[in-house]
Amino acid sequence: MKTKLLWVILWVVSPMLSLSQNYLQYFDGADTTSQSLQIKLDTSSTNIWQIGPPQKIIFNQAGTLPNVLITDTINSYPINNISSFTFGLASDFVDFGGVLAIQWKQKLDLDDTLDGGYIEFSSDSGATWTNAFNSPYTYNFYGFDNANKDTLVNGDVAFSGKDTNWRDIWLCFDYSWVSNFDSLIFKFTLKSDNIDNNREGWMIDNMNVHPTWFHTINEKEQDEYLLVYPNPTNGIVNIQAKKLKDYHIIKELSVVNIKGEIIQQHFNVPTKFKVDIRNQPSGIYFFTIKTNIQTETFRIVLQND
């Protein structure tokens, strides 16, 4: 069986990215305009991602006819398989505060907790990859049934299980943070174990990349410039700066213990971020947060017993 490896590259041709523009790929034909995700297909002996009309029992119709991106248009996915596709975002955008949203529709039919659909991103041309689930650099990741976000038996967090409804998935990043890199690459990977239960896999349609000033989740407009919570904490500390329409980033974040020792430092991170100090003893910690606007220090009590 001939299978295909998918590469999706987004090149932003104009130096200005209009907020009214969407960069789309519905997998229904060649599209070479500057408002489209540019597709390049390569062949691989083991990769099962294909573009075409779905012809399975559960996966039998595209979100937008006729084609989808799918782990084989006809057959169930094989055992011991790792299949990926990627798409890249060239960061010659104009800088502004806001959210970069990656959207797509999907259906799942995977062995629960055994086989998984992974979403990863890389800011160093693929040298290292970060799981988008539970990453402090992910602004928000939602739209899926929470029952399908699972910790697999190998300890990884991924999509798993069965969901036959078309879900509108949103994976969002702080736009100012993204603009600090030459490019950002996303990788979607299906991994299967050695048990074959004739599952249909992962089906994706209607991919859409766009920046926005307004996030789709209802978030209260904060009065304070910086929020650091909860306090006391059990180890996960959320940091959120007030939304601005200009370039806005945390240039430096330091966590210092009561002895004055720096236990963590982060540089050039998003203005919505998480810090994990669960490996530290209970006590008082000082979070100094320096954005490109101002600097503040917060006294946080850790209660992890």
Domain boundary among 212, 240, 260: 212
CA atoms within 13 A on the CB side of 187: 19
Residues 29 and 168 in one domain: yes
Residue 70 maps to a domain = yes
CATH code, domain carrying 264 = 2.60.40.1220
Question: So what's the pLDDT on residue 43?
Answer: 65
Q: Cα–Cα distance between 39 and 204 in angstroms, integer?
A: 15
Question: So what's the pLDDT on residue 83?
Answer: 93
Give the chain's largest Cα–Cα span: 64
Question: So what's the pLDDT on residue 1?
Answer: 34
**Cis amide bond preceding 232, omega within 30:** yes
| Structural domain for 243, as ranges | 226-302
Residues 6+ apart with CB under 8 A from 42: 4, 5, 7
Residues 178 and 30 in one domain: yes
Chain position carrying tokens 């595209």: 62
What tokens were used for 212?
A: 């926005």
Residues 110 and 155 in one domain: yes
Residues 31 and 157 in one domain: yes
Residues 186 and 255 in one domain: no
Residue 104 maps to a domain = yes
Residue 217 maps to a domain = no
Integer CA distances (angstroms), 12 to 135, 185, 213, in order: 26, 14, 18
Q: Cα–Cα distance between 5 and 267 in angstroms, integer?
A: 35
**Which DSSP symbol is given to 177?**
H
Residue 124 maps to a domain = yes
- Identify whether the C-beta of residue 225 lies closer than 8 Å to the C-beta of residue 290: no
Residue 220 maps to a domain = no
Question: So what's the pLDDT on residue 17?
Answer: 34
Number of domains present in the structure of the chain:
2
- What is the mean pLDDT for each group of 10 consecutive residues in the chain (305 residues)? 34 34 76 61 81 96 95 97 86 66 96 97 94 96 96 96 97 90 89 97 93 65 92 97 90 98 97 97 98 97 90
Residue 297 maps to a domain = yes
Residue 289 maps to a domain = yes
Residue 221 maps to a domain = no
pTM of the model: 0.88
Q: Cα–Cα distance between 129 and 123 in angstroms, integer?
A: 8
CATH code, domain carrying 53 = 2.60.120.260
Residues 193 and 257 in one domain: no
